[in-house]
Amino acid sequence: MIHTSFDRLVVVSNRLPVVLKWEHERWTVRAGAGGLVTALAPVLSRNGGVWMGWPGTSEQADVHAPLEEFSQSQGYLLHPVILQTEDVRGYYYGFSNEVLWPLLHGFHTHCNFKLDYWEKYQKVNNRFAQEILQVTTEDDYVWVHDYHLMCVAREINKGLSRRKCGFFLHIPFPGPEIFLKLPWRRSILGSLLEFDLIGFQTSQDMMNFVRCLECLCSNTRVHTEQNLAWIACGDKEVTAGTFPISIDFDEFAELAASKEVSSRTDKLHMLHPDQQVILGVDRLDYTKGIPQRLEAIRQALIRFPDLKGKIALLQVLVPSREEVPEYQALKEEIERLVGEINGQFTEPGWIPVHYLYRSLPRADLVSFYLASEMALITPLWDGMNLVAKEYCVCNYREDGVLILSEFAGAASQLYSDAILVNPYDVNAVTEAIRRAFYMHPSERQSRMRRLRQTIKTYDIHFWLDSFLQAAFDSRPQEVPMAGFSTFLSSIDRL
């Protein structure tokens, strides 16, 4: 572990990792869940660190005092960046959700390239930069997270003050044929070059970024060593690296082995004694490939009648961006498909698709992971996909099969022991389901054992250490990962 080369770690993300609620005439603050907080909290509290972000409340709400009180119980400071409602509309709902999210996932036809969104995005990035300059000193390390804040370093560097500043992108980075459609491509790429270190989930993402730079800057030079790349682009230099994010192995494994979870799991098994449960867990989003997955279940039941009455999909959907018409339409499409499939195939004692539309307590989610004989994780494009890793870690009985999209970042690490599928190829997904259904217990066990070992070695703490190590020593790490060309050529030879 390094972490001694800076005074304080200052994490900056769009949202603070807390849930604020106005209850009984006062604000209550609850810790947000998630691996990122679990991994960063010890480093933050050890060095008296800071987490900065929008609290998710309106500009009129005064949340400083409750956050300060909550900070004391956490051992690090939660610093709110207060934003005007109008700015949130353009920066968050507009540019982040309607431009960057679809573009960076390759859905450029979904983009709404409004100039006003871009202006608000820059304004809010500048607002974050000003707040960072006020809260931090030159001895702190500022670590900015995700696509909402790609221009923060540029805004900081406009003045005379300097900060050591790193950036991590949680979602994919597309190649030039997609990225260059962005009207503000030059400005975004130039802004990313203002960070000292840029972290990507996969080597594919990093190389896509380099290819975009090469298109706009003929004088781009790159030197790569293991997971790092030193890039010179005109008069700018930046280090980029691949740091596949992961989960807290011990936390999930312990919860999975707890009495509470195993008694719930046994109950679930009793409900489906002669069936294999296929689990799907996603946020409601068009990038997750849920209609295609449902279609694959329908086709599997048509093509392979031996699976009728023997498999059941348990699809858990977390509500997300419900106010956006496109997401409402997607939800309606999913619910229509669930209804159609159940109408077409249900028989007394067997329902092919079970559908839950809500957020779940962690213990419930983990008991679903443990009770399912397969996980069907088929995003059309995904930065990493933590659900894939959570499923494997919780499967300590080593009897589950992971069916995983080639387009999830997780495939670059888990490709040899998951069954990889192209989520657009419905027939291939149906065949993968059948293969998993009939997979011998010994093969299930050996594959799952290796999957769990990989995730244990490269867990969230490895991710954190390797990023900070690259930030301070520029020391490359060996992170075994494969690009498309490696894993596709091993399964899909011409």
Binding interface with ligand ADQ (CB under 6 A): 170-171, 245, 281, 283, 316, 318, 359-360, 365, 382-387, 390
Q: What is the b/e burial string over 120-149, where b = at least 16 CB atoms within 10 angstroms of the residue's CB?
A: bbbbbbbbbbebbbebbeeebbbbbbbbbb
Q: From CA 153, how far away is CA 141, in angstroms rounded?
A: 12
Looking at the Cβ atoms of 217 and 316, the one nearer to ligand ADQ is 316
Residue 363 CB, nearest distance to ligand ADQ (Å)?
A: 11
Active-site residue, from 3, 64, 110, 170 = 170
Residue 172 CB, nearest distance to ligand ADQ (Å)?
A: 8
Q: Are 336 and 290 in contact (CB under 8 A)?
A: no
Residue 102 CB, nearest distance to ligand ADQ (Å)?
A: 13
Looking at the Cβ atoms of 307 and 482, the one nearer to ligand ADQ is 482
Residue 199 CB, nearest distance to ligand ADQ (Å)?
A: 10
Phi, psi at residue 135, to the nearest 5°?
-85, -25
**Could you give the angle at the alpha carbon of 56 between the alpha carbons of 9 and 83, nearest 5°?**
85
Taking every pair of Cα atoms in the chain, the longest distance, rounded to a whole number of angstroms, is: 73
Residue 326 CB, nearest distance to ligand ADQ (Å)?
A: 16
Residue 170 CB, nearest distance to ligand ADQ (Å)?
A: 4
Residue written as tokens 């790490």? 477
Looking at the Cβ atoms of 27 and 407, the one nearer to ligand ADQ is 407
Looking at the Cβ atoms of 67 and 169, the one nearer to ligand ADQ is 169
Residue 276 CB, nearest distance to ligand ADQ (Å)?
A: 21
Note if 382 is an active site residue. Answer: yes
Q: Are 143 and 470 in contact (CB under 8 A)?
A: no
> Residues 6 or more apart from 304 whose CB is under 8 A from it?
430, 434
What are the distances in angstroms from CA 172 to CA 113, 176, 225, 293?
19, 13, 21, 21
Residue 145 CB, nearest distance to ligand ADQ (Å)?
A: 9
Q: Are 166 and 194 in contact (CB under 8 A)?
A: no
What are the distances in angstroms from CA 340 to CA 97, 272, 328, 351?
30, 22, 18, 12
Beta strands in 390-483 (DSSP E): 401-405, 419-421
How many C-alpha atoms does 66 have within 13 Å on its Cβ side? 18
Looking at the Cβ atoms of 359 and 422, the one nearer to ligand ADQ is 359
Looking at the Cβ atoms of 40 and 384, the one nearer to ligand ADQ is 384
Active-site residue, from 140, 382, 417, 459 = 382
Within 182-287, residue ranges assigned H as helices are 185-192, 203-216, 249-257, 259-271
Note if 105 is an active site residue. Answer: no
Looking at the Cβ atoms of 437 and 458, the one nearer to ligand ADQ is 458
Encoded tokens for 450: 């290796």
What are the distances in angstroms from CA 35 to CA 162, 212, 261, 340, 437?
30, 31, 19, 36, 31
Residue written as tokens 């991710």? 463
Q: From CA 366, how far away is CA 361, in angstroms rounded?
A: 9
Q: Are 380 and 288 in contact (CB under 8 A)?
A: yes
Looking at the Cβ atoms of 95 and 407, the one nearer to ligand ADQ is 407
- Active site members: 170, 382
